[in-house]
Structure formats: C-alpha cells, structure tokens
Amino acid sequence: MTQSIKLVGVGGQGTILAAKVICDALINAGYDVKMSEIHGMSQRGGSVSSEIRFGDNVFSPVIEKGKADVLIAFELMEAERAIDYLSGDGLLIVNNHKINSMVTLNGKVPYPSGIVEDLKSKVHTIVINASEQAKALGNAKVMNIMMLGALVNAYQLNNLDIEAAIEHTVKEKYIGLNKKAFNKGKEL
C-alpha cells in the first residue's frame, strides 16, 4: 500500500529540508520512496511544496488532488491553498502561523480570517504553534523539524529513526537543535 504526504510552506520555511529528512528516514526503514518538489519563486516568499509517496512499490512521486493521506502545512494560507490535495479522511497538521504575501502587505487584500475554522470543518486537523515553540528553543527556523515530530506522533510513524535522518541531512552545527525541535514536536 502506498501512502502519500504533502508538505506545503513559503520560501525559507524549510519545506524541502523537512521532506528530505522524512525521505531519508523512510528509505532507512526499508520503504520504496519517491519525492518531488515545487519551489518556484521560493526565494521571494512564494509557495513551496514537496510530495512524498512511500510503500512497497511506488511508481510515481506525484500526488493527485484528493489523494494525500497527510498534509503538513507550515503556514495557514498555504494550508488553505493545498487542502484539495488531502483525502476526505486524511490528516492535516498545520502550523498556526501567518506570513503576509505582497498583496496583504500592500493593504490591497487583508490576510484571510477564519482559516483554522474552515480547515477544521473540512478535515481532521491538528493545529500547533510550531513557530512560537521553535522561537522558544532559540531558533524559529527549526519549526519545520518540529512539525515532523508532530507528524510522527499523529500518523504513527514511530518506526522511523528521524534523529538519524537529521544527522544525515542537517548541517552538523544544527543537529542538536534540530533533535530538540523534533522531540518537542512529538510532545505537541
């Protein structure tokens, strides 16, 4: 059986790094894994997404709309944009964090309100305040790895050695902090 995880965020939030950590752990656990990523304009605050499919035999890295088992969103509006990819009985894990786009920054359009309530009305949703928790650990950038901790707990991926994957994937000087973030995410 193939399972599908989609990660979405904004450029600079570490969406692709988080996907690489998951893929490393899945491969080391013996799964066949395929990953794809889209990061157009990511350096200018644009959307970034990664798709991971794993199982015994995976033939495509692409997740069709309505087929993702888990959607991990590092930003609220990105969750709303990608919610159509999640299956009706899928799981949404969303960081309760807002990043203004150019149109909201210039005042032409307000940042949408009621996103969390809308998402909860559609699918099973876990909302965590990963950005604030990561800041409390000393670096807001580890929010992405904290979200992986929440994923492991909520989606029962306890057979994965995420800490080893962090050691393989993250720069050496940040390994300890990322491990702390991962373990904090498991508590959320």
Average pLDDT over residues 83-109: 92
State the pLDDT confidence band at 7, using cuts at 50, 70 and 90.
very high
Instruction: Check residue 43 and give its pLDDT.
Output: 60
H or E element that contains 87: strand 86-95
Task: Check residue 30 and report its DSSP letter.
Answer: T
Instruction: Check residue 117 and give its pLDDT.
Output: 97
Instruction: Check residue 40 and give its pLDDT.
Output: 67
State the pLDDT confidence band at 87, using cuts at 50, 70 and 90.
very high
Average pLDDT over residues 82-101: 95
Nearest-CA neighbor of 9 among 81, 112, 90? 81
- Is residue 93 within 8 Å of 151, Cβ to Cβ? yes
- Is residue 4 within 8 Å of 155, Cβ to Cβ? no
Instruction: Check residue 104 and give its pLDDT.
Output: 85
Q: What is the pTM of this model?
A: 0.94
User: In this predicted model, what pLDDT tens digit does every residue of 11-60 receive, in sequence order?
Assistant: 889 999 999 999 999 999 999 999 998 876 656 668 899 999 999 999 99
d(CA 146, CA 129): 10
Residue 27, number of CB atoms within 10 A of its CB:
15
Burial of 187 (0-12, 13-18, 19+ CB in 10 A): exposed
pLDDT at 179 over 90: yes
Instruction: Check residue 105 and give its pLDDT.
Output: 85
Look-up of token digits 């919610």: 83
Q: What is the distance of C-alpha 44 from the center of its chain? A: 19
For the chain, percent of residues with pLDDT exceeding 90: 87
User: In this predicted model, what pLDDT tens digit does every residue of 113-144 receive, in sequence order?
Assistant: 999 999 999 999 999 999 999 999 999 999 99
pLDDT at 79 over 70: yes
State the pLDDT confidence band at 108, using cuts at 50, 70 and 90.
confident
Average pLDDT over residues 148-157: 95
Angle at 120 between CA 119 and CA 122, to 5 degrees: 65
79-87, Cβ contacts within 8 angstroms, sequence gap of 24 or more: 79/8, 79/115, 79/119, 80/112, 80/115, 80/118, 80/119, 81/8, 81/47, 82/6, 82/8, 82/49, 83/119, 83/122, 83/123, 85/6, 86/6, 86/123
Mean pLDDT taken over the chain: 94
